Amino acid sequence: MHWVVQNNLFNERGFHTLMQVLEHGGLPHTLVKVIPFGGGVEPAVDVAGPVIVMGSLTLTRYARERGWVPGAFLNDHFDFRVWREHLGEHLLNAGARVCRFADVTPVDGPFFIRPCLDDKSFSGMVTTWEEFTAWRDSVLVLGEDTTVSADTWVAVGAPKSIQREYRMVIVDGRVITGTRYKLGDRVVASAEVEPEVYAFAQAMADRWAPDRAYALDVFMHDGGLYVGEINNLNSAGFYAYDVAKMVAAIEAMPW
């Protein structure tokens, strides 16, 4: 497997570990700069055989354009509407209303909103109707936000109190490694993940998978475990999960 890694991930603690794992394992890899607005990468990568990327969504899209295999684990299943269809009540915001960004109707009190797609068009947030309408007006009237449009599909629901957040790495149906990355509102990356979180993540992986490899975010709400979201593994943060285990699992995948 040839690994193509974006060079501006230096602030990610797992980036250095990833580079060490690739170098110590003698795994072929190229560190690249991603050129904005569809400009490709520098240096150019032209290799035979399997290629995988780690970096931004721009890099994952470039991998798909190049036809690299596996390239990036990204498809139409990374969509809140699809998650709800398969995971039902195990999804934290299963009761959310789905509509176009332009069609969100008035809400009393604070509410949660997120894009349906894993496209980083905006980060899920708790907001108020006054704050939301001011933002929406700037998008629809002034066009100030180029990543969101009237037709962006969103999920709108009640805010949830989250005690802990975990990121679990799943490859070919198996939970490979995981990290706790939040305690309440504080980002506290730790490799300490309770056995029940691993068990829940495996149960969800047994139930349904969006692709052969992905990052499953597990949230603890009111003492119960739920799927918070599902992320494209190639663009998801490492936090404190065991990068070596992730690399070994990807390397072992048959192609």
Which tokens in the block code for residue 21?
Answer: 């794992």
pLDDT band for 39, please (50, 70, 90 cuts). confident
Task: Say if CB 50 and CB 71 are below 8 A apart.
Answer: no
Q: Within 13 Å and on the Cβ side, how many CA atoms surround 246?
A: 30
DSSP 8-state secondary structure symbol assigned to residue 59: H
> pLDDT over 70 for what percent of the chain?
98
Question: In 3D, which of 62, 66, 60 has the Cα closest to residue 39?
Answer: 62
Per-residue model confidence as pLDDT tens digits over 65-109: 999 999 999 999 999 999 999 999 999 999 999 999 999 999 999
pTM of the full structure: 0.93
Judge whether residue 168 has pLDDT over 90: yes
Question: In 3D, which of 117, 131, 128, 27 has the Cα closest to residue 80?
Answer: 117
For the chain, the average pLDDT equals 94
Alpha-carbon torsion angle 205, 206, 210, 215, nearest 10? 10
* Most distant CA pair in the chain, distance: 57
